[in-house]
A and B are shown apart, each in its own frame.
Chain A
Amino acid sequence: MAQIFHRSTNFLARFSVFSALFLVGLALVGVLAVARSPYLTRQNVTREQPVQFSHKHHVGDDGIDCRYCHTGVETSAVAGIPPTKTCMNCHAVLFNNAAYLEPIRESYRSDKSIPWVKVHRLADFVYFDHSIHVNKGVGCSSCHGQINQMPLVFQANTLLMQWCVDCHRNPEQVLRPKDQVFNMDWKAPDNQAEVGAKLRDEYKIRTTAELTSCSTCHR
C-alpha cells in the first residue's frame, strides 16, 4: 500500500498535540486575566459626567475638604453625593452664568436631580461602610487614589474582593494617623510596617480573623 500520510505529518501530528495543550492553557489564563482587567473592573477608566466636575480644581486647587460635600463619610455607610444645593452654595455667586454650570442651575430650578455616572462600584452583595474605615485611620486616598489630582474621577483600584481582603488581612500597610485621613497627599512613611502595627493597636482594630469573616461585609 502507499503511505496515507506524508512524512511531514509526523512533525505536524506531534506539534498539534503540544500546541493543543498549550492553547487550552492559554485560554484559561486569558479568561482569568480578563476578569482582572480594567475592561471588567473599570480601573483607571475616566467617565463622562453630566457636568465635568473637577476634583482636581475643587480639592487640589481650592483645597475644599472632602467632608464639605461628602457629609456622611464620618457617620454613615455612604459618603453621600452632595445635593445640587451644595453646588449652588458657591455657584449661586461664583461663575453663576458659566454655560457649563447650566445643568446645575437647571436642576436647582426644576428640582430634578442630576444623574451622575457612578464611578466607584464595589462588587455586588458587599455592604461597605465608609464611616468605620475613616474612623479607624484608613485614608480616602488609600482606596480612591489621589482624587485631588483627578480632573475627572476614575476608579484607582480594582475593587475586587481579593483587593479588599488583602487589606483586611493586614491593615497595617495602609493605616495612617487619624488627622491624616483626609490628606490626599499623604505618603506612607518608610517605617509604615511598625507605624501601622502601632496604630492598629491604638485604634483597637479587630483581628484578621474577625476582619475576614464573611459576614463582616456580606449580609
Chain B
Amino acid sequence: MSAGQPPFDSPEIRRLTPVIGPGHTYGSVTDKISAIVLTRPTSLGWYVGFLIAFSIMGMMTVAIGWLIIKGTGIWGINIPIGWGFAIVNFVWWIGIGHAGTLISAILFLLNQKWRTSINRFAEAMTLFAVACAGIFPLIHTGRPWLAFYMFPYPSTMGLWPQFRSPLIWDVFAVSTYGTVSLMFWFVGLIPDLATLRDRSVRKPLKIIYGMLSLGWRGSARHWHRYQSAYLLLAGLATPLVLSVHTVVSFDFAIAIVPGWHTTIFPPYFVAGAIYSGFAMVLTIAIPLRKAYDLEDFITMRHLDNMAKVMLSTGLIVAYGYFFEFFLSLYSGNKFDVFLVQQRLHGPYAPFYFALILCNILLPQLLWSYKMRHNVAALFLMSIVVNIGMWLERFVIVVISLTRDFVPSAWGRYSPTFWDWATFIGTIGMFVTLLFLFVRVLPAISIAEMRELVAETSEEEK
C-alpha cells in the first residue's frame, strides 16, 4: 500500500467497512457485473426512465432548432447581461465532469482502492457532462454556424483565432479534456470489453465486443505496457483536470467586470468543480446501486468517503466565498465593494443567500456519521449541493453583469422559457446517455474488481 493514504483508509476501518462485499471470487465478480449487460433482462423501469429522459432531450433539440431559426434573442439575455443561462450551465456541467476524472485519475495515483467500483461510471459521467457542457459555448454564439472561426484552420481570409482570449483557451481546454477523458475511459474499458466478448453467447455481440476490445487477450506483456500507459494517462489527466476549470475561471478572472476580476477564482472554481462533481456521482451512484443491487460493490464505505470529500471541498468553497467577500472589501475598490453590497441586498440577494444555504450551511450536516450513512439523506444532500453549485455560477455570471461600472447601463436578467428548455434538456441528454451506458457497458471496472478481490483475499490471509 502506498504512503499517500488518508487516515480514513486505514486497515481497521477497511475491515469494518469493506470496499467490496464478502465472499466474492474472480468469477462471481465477473458474473455479477457482466450480467447487467449480457444476461439480465432489460427492466421495464429502464425503458420508462429512458423514454422520459429521451423526450426531455428531444425538448432540448427543439429549443436549439428554434434558437437557430430566431437567434439568441429568444433567451433572456440583453445588454448589459450578455451571458445568461448558457454560460451558467456550461460552467456547471464542466464542473460536474471533474469528479469523474478526479476519481479515476487522482485517486488512482493516490492508490485509493475504494475508487475502483465507482471510477468507471464516474468517468462516463465526465464524458457525458463534458458533452452537455460543450453544447453551450457553441449555441450561445450569435452565429453558431460560424463557430468554426474559433478553431485554428487555414482560412481563405488568412486569419487565425485570437489567442489572448480566454474563450479560445476554453476551446482548447475543453476539447483536450474531452479527448483525454474519452481515451482514459476507453483504455480502462478494453479488458472488460474482452470479458464481455468472451462471455457473450450471441454471435453479433461477440463480434461487436470483439472489435471494440481490439483483440485483447490479457497477455502479461500487454498488461505490462497497459499499466504504464494507464498510469501515465492518470498522471496527465490530473494536471489537466485542474487546468480545465482554471481556464474556465479565467473566462471571468481575465475580464474586468467587478465580481469577475479576482485572482481567487482558479482555486475555488476547481474546488467547486470537485464539490459539485462528487455530488453528482452520489446522485447517480445511489439509484444505480439500488436498481442493479450493486450494494456489494458500491458499499456504504464509498458513500461515506464521497460524503467526506464533499464536506472537505465544500469547506474549501466556503473559504473561497469568504475571501472573495473579504478581498473585495479589503481592496477598497469602489466597484467591487458595491457589488458585494448588491449581492447582499440587491435585487438578486435571495439567490445569494440560497447559495450560501445550499453550499455552506446544509452540507455541514455531513459531519454527522448518521447523516453520512443514511442513503436517502445523502441523496437529498447531493441534490442540494448540485443546486447550490448551479446557483453559485448564476450569482457569479449574472449579478456581476447587472451592476457594473456605468450606472446608466444597469439592467436585469430573467430567463425565458427557452433558457429553461435548453438547460433541462441537457439534463435529459445526460441521463439518456447514462441509461445507454449502464445498459451496454459494464458500469464497474471488472478487471480492477478482480484485482481488488485478489488483494482483499491476500489481506484476509
Direct contact of A and B (CB under 8 A): yes
Q: Which residues of A contact B (CB under 8 A)?
A: 1, 4-5, 10, 13, 28, 32, 35-36, 158, 160-162, 165
Contact of B158 among A10, A13, A28, A165 (CB under 8 A): A165
Given contacts A13-B214, A13-B215, A32-B153, contact A4 B158 (CB under 8 A): no
B157 lies within 8 A of A4 (CB): no
User: Which residues of A are found within 8 Å of B210, using beta-carbon distances?
Assistant: 4-5
Contact of B156 among A1, A4, A5, A161 (CB under 8 A): A161
B154 lies within 8 A of A4 (CB): no
In the complex, A10 Cα to B215 Cα: how many Å?
Answer: 9
13 other A-B residue contacts (CB within 8 Å) besides A32-B154, A160-B156: A4-B197, A4-B206, A4-B207, A5-B210, A10-B215, A13-B214, A13-B215, A28-B153, A35-B156, A160-B157, A161-B157, A161-B158, A162-B157
User: Which residues of B are found within 8 Å of A165, using beta-carbon distances?
Assistant: 158
Kindly state the interface size class of chain B when it binds its partner.
Answer: 10 to 19
In the complex, A158 Cα to B157 Cα: how many Å?
Answer: 12
User: Which residues of B are found within 8 Å of A162, using beta-carbon distances?
Assistant: 156-158
In the complex, A49 Cα to B288 Cα: how many Å?
Answer: 71
Query: What is the CB-to-nearest-CB distance from B387 to chain A, in angstroms, rounded to a whole number?
Result: 41
Q: Which B175-230 residues sit within 8 Å CB-CB of chain A?
A: 197-198, 206-207, 210-211, 214-215
Contact of B215 among A5, A36, A160 (CB under 8 A): A5
Q: Which B130-188 residues sit within 8 Å CB-CB of chain A?
A: 153-154, 156-159
Query: What is the CB-to-nearest-CB distance from A170 to chain B, in angstroms, rounded to a whole number?
Result: 14
Query: What is the CB-to-nearest-CB distance from B212 to chain A, in angstroms, rounded to a whole number?
Result: 11
Q: Which of B154, B158, B159, B214 has the most CB of A within 10 A?
A: B158
In the complex, A161 Cα to B159 Cα: how many Å?
Answer: 9
In the complex, A10 Cα to B210 Cα: how many Å?
Answer: 12
A36 lies within 8 A of B214 (CB): no
Could you pull out 13 A-B pairs where Cβ atoms are within 8 angstroms? A1-B198, A4-B206, A5-B207, A5-B210, A13-B211, A13-B215, A28-B153, A158-B156, A160-B157, A161-B157, A161-B158, A162-B157, A162-B158
In the complex, A13 Cα to B207 Cα: how many Å?
Answer: 13
Query: What is the CB-to-nearest-CB distance from A94 to chain B, in angstroms, rounded to a whole number?
Result: 44
Query: What is the CB-to-nearest-CB distance from B214 to chain A, in angstroms, rounded to a whole number?
Result: 7
In the complex, A160 Cα to B198 Cα: how many Å?
Answer: 58
Closest Cβ neighbor of A158 among chain B residues: B156
